[in-house]
Structure 1
């Protein structure tokens, strides 16, 4: 059975990994997102975003919290940049808050204070020799665009995003050489407009809404790429890509229907966005399953989309076994359409891997190697940056700080997943960088402050003090070349 064969594959990834296992120019970084860390929600001319509104709506965030202050990165960015530098990372992926640049999202008047904040952050990174990777959209849409036109449901959003992207390229592109247009458009489409658990929290819309949102995000991405390539790329010399999230889908058995279900699952995650960019339209299986719910691209739009990608950013956390299922307990239209079941256990009942704090997150390093090889084979081996990879701990105030900081499972997680990346590179996948999620514990969207993904502990009860965890120190040794193979922790 395939699942037993996978067991054999895990052994090679239990070995220690070291910096020398990666190409010399490989970028190692950490990642964050504006709403999760910045705070200063009413400072510096910033306008409200949909996450401000959503998090202040009763019952939407599990602990009733919000990102008004978050971890105060807006005021402490120099301290945080120093942390990145001291730990030895050479890349930092951050997101720009659209409503700091254009408070109403419309692009009529640039907010100079917002420009100044990101200029200061970028300059601080450059001074420390850290490469900035800037994400234009990490879910925090200006609230005015949601209230006035319906946000991503209206095609006008493409033009507003284009103005915003152009403005960022013009102000920051002399120093930012790595641009990401949209982070995880799938999560905005499905969790924002189907499950309703992310801003703007729509659940009552039609089953076509997630696909319309995705359609407009794809067009916004391609339009921004076109602007960058026509106006800025030759002069600034940067590159621009898209970040997608994907769990590896391993067929639960050798049965053809399970193999088809696993392939279908990957098309509904990656193919949804990559097939239009590489092959001109949505995946065949999505066209078959969804019919008229999928919007259509015009011939002119297909030309705009073609190869509108210098690199692929991949956010990956875990893997699942997939079996065919004609009926589904899933509430989302999106999952029902896939006719599959996600399974987290081997045949004997043991879990697919050690479990992190989140119910969906299991430690399954071999899945990342398989996913990278799948992308290489399916999409003509594009340059890939792993733009997020990590795991969470439960918030637990009952433990002493020394115990909380000794995050042994996270260390095992990073060792295993980095080994999987090293193997995928040897297999031929064109992986050029890796960003751990996240630099800091932060506001974890619908989970509020109940989950901690950071390499650095943030003490929410004592002035937001930063304390590096064991995983941060492990990474530091790894990056400085002192972490050798088979060295005992």
Structure 2
């Protein structure tokens, strides 16, 4: 009753958080290159960390520094990927999820021909994985769209991006046919939480921001369906998945109004996966658009494309759960994955205020499988923590081991409940620049990277205690935790 024999154990990263080399071999600027490290901002206040104005962008664009733009330097995996993949092979990885930076293939997003140096890099990267016995799982869009498309078109608010994204995807499919698992958009639902990072929408140049966010989402749904169709045409045996931020929400009390508040949050969280997995908009979201007076430009032809090209599997991130109530003024609030929500008094929290809820992962798996009846893949799960290196170079991270042990245990129970789970890639197997706070000190990995928040350090890789633990988990296919 345990995990399937071909279960895809591994780890996950995003190009913009690990590669660095932001101006090497013809790469263009992406929205991620605008993200700044803000040492004086409370890391638990996500909104203050992601808000950026049009004028900010123009200033940052001309700044060639990397000190306060950590995603420009990452952990230099662009030059060190062979070393990192060797460590992943030692861990016993069956799979590695990463993203392809659009700006390495089309630096500004609109070039007539792709950048061959970018294609060559990913060809070599993928070959190294395959030669190491590691299945590549590739995300096409992971918070790193070309900056020029944001400035010129306000990102995904404009339908012109659909064909540009399809063009980029075609180059990827034709260049990397050995990749059999593709994800279209990372945490696609996040457009309504951080529109610039996720969709290139510049908020202070946008009227009716929420309506525009939903238009951008629709445009991404169309693009996702089109590239799903294209992948099936070009790559034999390919599997294409959508990717959801699983924001599991409980009612703060058994008061019916609180239960309704939690239900509404969960339904809104599901809606993007509903469109991509079921092929049509939920009637509840269409009613919401009507009630709010939103006029989303969606044609019959676009809706037909969505209907005819649903995804093969559902992938998702899961980090924590939150509470909801009719009156949230009475709730103690805490941070989460790109969101703020009610704090559950029954749960512990990380240094960054995220609740730790392994049972919530089991609940999420059961809910998702019951709703979609498609294979599931957990492509992000982990905890950010402060690690200390001892004098002998050891990192004793029992807290991380306990986090993963408790979550994988509940994951196994969900499989025994009947959930069809095909893979698990931890976030992240190696320390990287945090998506929300742009910190290195928020460490996720089984592998420590010697770099601080301002980029100081040797970039040396060190194995943490959790490295050996996860290695044994994979060796025993999750039977010994």
TMscore range, shorter length: 0.7 to 0.9
The equivalent residue for 1:263 is 263
Q: How far, CA to CA, are the matches of 2:155 and 2:216 in structure 1?
A: 9
Equivalent of 1:225 in 207, 210, 228: 228
Secondary structure at the aligned position of 1:394 is classed as coil
Could you tell which deviates more after superposition, 474-483 or 138-147?
474-483
The equivalent residue for 1:385 is 377
Q: Cα distance, 1:184 vs. partner?
A: 0.8
C-alpha change, 1:232 and 1:276, in structure 2 (3 Å) is closer
The alignment's TM-score, normalised by the length of structure 2, stands at 0.85
List runs of 5+ in structure 2 lacking aligned partners.
Answer: 42-47, 51-66, 334-338
Q: Cα distance, 1:169 vs. partner?
A: 0.3
Equivalent of 1:417 in 397, 407, 425: 407
Q: Cα distance, 1:386 vs. partner?
A: 0.4
Q: How far, CA to CA, are the matches of 1:404 and 1:217 in structure 2?
A: 44
1:42 corresponds to 2:44: no
C-alpha change, 1:184 and 1:283, in structure 2 (3 Å) is farther
- 1:215-254 counterparts in 2 under 5 A? 215-229=218-232, 231-233=233-235, 236-254=236-254
The equivalent residue for 1:442 is 432
1:353 corresponds to 2:347: yes
Equivalent of 1:459 in 418, 441, 450: 450
The alignment's TM-score, normalised by the length of structure 1, stands at 0.83
8 Å CA contact 2:140, 2:182 repeated in 1:
yes
C-alpha change, 1:327 and 1:65, in structure 2 (3 Å) is same
Q: How far, CA to CA, are the matches of 1:328 and 1:65 in structure 2?
A: 37
Secondary structure at the aligned position of 2:226 is classed as helix
Equivalent of 1:476 in 461, 465, 471: 471
Secondary structure at the aligned position of 2:171 is classed as helix
C-alpha change, 1:483 and 1:23, in structure 2 (3 Å) is closer
Equivalent of 2:96 in 79, 92, 95: 92
8 Å CA contact 1:139, 1:188 repeated in 2:
no
Q: Cα distance, 1:66 vs. partner?
A: 2.1
Secondary structure at the aligned position of 1:435 is classed as strand
Could you tell which deviates more after superposition, 302-311 or 90-99?
302-311
The equivalent residue for 2:59 is none
Q: Cα distance, 1:179 vs. partner?
A: 0.6
C-alpha change, 1:27 and 1:276, in structure 2 (3 Å) is closer
Q: Cα distance, 1:188 vs. partner?
A: 3.6
Q: Cα distance, 1:282 vs. partner?
A: 3.8
- 1:292-311 counterparts in 2 under 5 A? 292-293=293-294, 295=296, 297-306=298-307, 308-311=310-313
Q: Cα distance, 1:483 vs. partner?
A: 7.8
Aligned length: 444
8 Å CA contact 2:20, 2:77 repeated in 1:
yes
Equivalent of 1:118 in 106, 115, 122: 122
The equivalent residue for 2:80 is 76
Secondary structure at the aligned position of 1:297 is classed as coil
8 Å CA contact 1:459, 1:466 repeated in 2:
yes
Q: How far, CA to CA, are the matches of 1:72 and 1:200 in structure 2?
A: 28
Q: Cα distance, 1:454 vs. partner?
A: 1.5
The equivalent residue for 1:152 is 156
The two structures, once aligned, show a CA RMSD in angstroms of 2.9
C-alpha change, 1:36 and 1:163, in structure 2 (3 Å) is same
- 1:331-410 counterparts in 2 under 5 A? 342-346=341-345, 352-359=346-353, 361-379=354-372, 381-394=373-386, 400=390, 405-410=395-400
Partner deviation per Cα, 1:285-325 (whole Å, 9 max, x = no partner): 56337533362533222221125101111111111222223
